[in-house]
């Protein structure tokens, strides 16, 4: 009896210690899950709409998250900010190619939570020319000055599209995308590879017209219906591992905003104002990309996404192959 009692006390004492340890761990975790302000970088393009909506409508605040949106004209600065630990993530529209370059330099520093595929149906990318330009096809840009956005992805894509149209002698100039309509209209450049809402702004202001949309899917991926995963929203791996529950809450809120954009795009569009160059009622005409949350990717989606990364490798933008699938966020269990 005494032996059994002693054994019970020993086991009981061990269990008590285990419970005390679990409580201490829970307290530590509770302290760890107070990240404070969450800084998210965003580029000024239409693809960032779910993030803009979540900020403007207070969805993050409702979820108990203190999220601050940080604007960047050059997407490379967003990547640098995340690597340096100054940003905890980025919105949709941040170039997937720039993220791939960062993956080579700093492996496993981010996870994709939502990507924004586009093609001729879900429009984001396009070539624009002046409203009264005689140019009727991309093939007519031989020897011309062509603009594109800043960053290696825009430069590689522009060169690739021109090459598919037999053009190797165009002079490519990297400009802030907000300058594209005016630069094209003034004749400083003959055309621009640009992203929405700049094409809509130029058209509705009578400055430019769209030469062709969905150009990356058509010329780089080889199918105008293929999804081009040119932009993605991510969180840094450090943030996810340090604050796993907060990260899941952030992603759940982001998903909620994606659902609104899908189901009520006209309601959501107004949130572009202030985050992109578009103003007033012009926002109603802006086309929108599609969206894929991390757990919605099909095998075909991954194949097309990988094709884009392989194009960047072939274009010497990437110094080694980057696999897409391991970059997708996986919730902690």
pTM equals 0.88
Residue ranges covered by each domain of the chain: 33-120+228-327, 125-213
* 88, 236 contact by CB (below 8 A): yes
Q: Does the pLDDT of residue 3 top 80, yes or no?
A: no
Fold: same for 33-120+228-327 and 125-213? yes
Q: What is the pLDDT of residues 188-207, one digit of tens each?
A: 999 999 999 999 999 999 99
Host H or E run for residue 237:
helix 237-242
Q: Which CATH number fits domain 125-213: 3.10.105.10, 3.40.190.10, 3.40.720.10, 3.40.190.80?
A: 3.40.190.10
- Return the pLDDT at 33: 79
Q: How confident is the model at residue 310 (pLDDT cuts 50, 70, 90)?
A: very high
Residue 288, number of CB atoms within 10 A of its CB: 22
**Does domain 33-120+228-327 match CATH 3.40.190.10?**
yes
CA distances from 24 to 34, 183, 197, 239, 242 (A): 16, 61, 51, 22, 17
- Return the pLDDT at 248: 97
Residue 314, burial from CB neighbour count under 10 angstroms (0-12, 13-18, 19+): exposed
Q: Does the pLDDT of residue 12 top 70, yes or no?
A: no
- Return the pLDDT at 242: 95
């Amino acid at each position: 009896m005494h032996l059994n009692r002693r054994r019970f006390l020993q086991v009981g004492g061990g269990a008590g210690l285990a419970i005390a340890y679990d409580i201490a761990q829970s307290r530590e975790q509770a302290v760890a899950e107070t990240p404070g302000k969450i800084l998210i970088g965003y580029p000024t393009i239409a693809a960032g709409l779910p993030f803009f909506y979540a900020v403007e409508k207070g969805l993050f605040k409702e979820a108990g998250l203190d999220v601050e949106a940080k604007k960047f004209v050059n997407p490379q600065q967003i990547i640098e900010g995340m690597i340096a630990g100054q940003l905890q993530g980025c919105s949709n529209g941040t170039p997937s190619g720039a993220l791939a370059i960062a993956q080579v330099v700093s492996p496993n520093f981010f996870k994709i939570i939502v990507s924004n595929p586009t093609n001729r149906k879900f429009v984001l990318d396009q070539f624009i020319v002046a409203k009264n330009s005689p140019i009727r096809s991309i093939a007519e840009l031989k020897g011309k000055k062509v603009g594109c956005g800043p960053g290696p992805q825009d430069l590689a894509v522009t060169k690739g599209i021109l090459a598919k149209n037999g053009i190797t002698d165009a002079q490519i100039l990297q400009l802030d995308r907000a300058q594209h309509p005016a630069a094209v209209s003034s004749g400083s450049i003959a055309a621009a590879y640009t992203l929405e809402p700049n094409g809509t702004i130029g058209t509705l202001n009578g400055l430019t017209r769209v030469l062709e949309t969905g150009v990356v899917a058509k010329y780089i991926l080889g199918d105008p219906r293929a999804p081009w995963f040119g932009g993605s929203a991510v969180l840094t791996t450090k943030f996810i591992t340090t604050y796993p529950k907060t990260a899941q809450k952030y992603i759940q809120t982001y998903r909620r905003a994606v659902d609104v954009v899908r189901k009520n795009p006209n309601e959501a569009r107004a949130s572009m104002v202030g985050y992109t160059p578009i103003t007033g009622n012009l926002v109603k005409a802006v086309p929108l990309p599609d969206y894929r949350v991390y757990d919605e990717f099909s095998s075909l989606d991954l194949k097309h996404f990988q094709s884009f990364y392989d194009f960047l490798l072939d274009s010497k933008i990437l110094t080694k192959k980057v696999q897409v699938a391991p970059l997708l966020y996986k919730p902690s269990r």
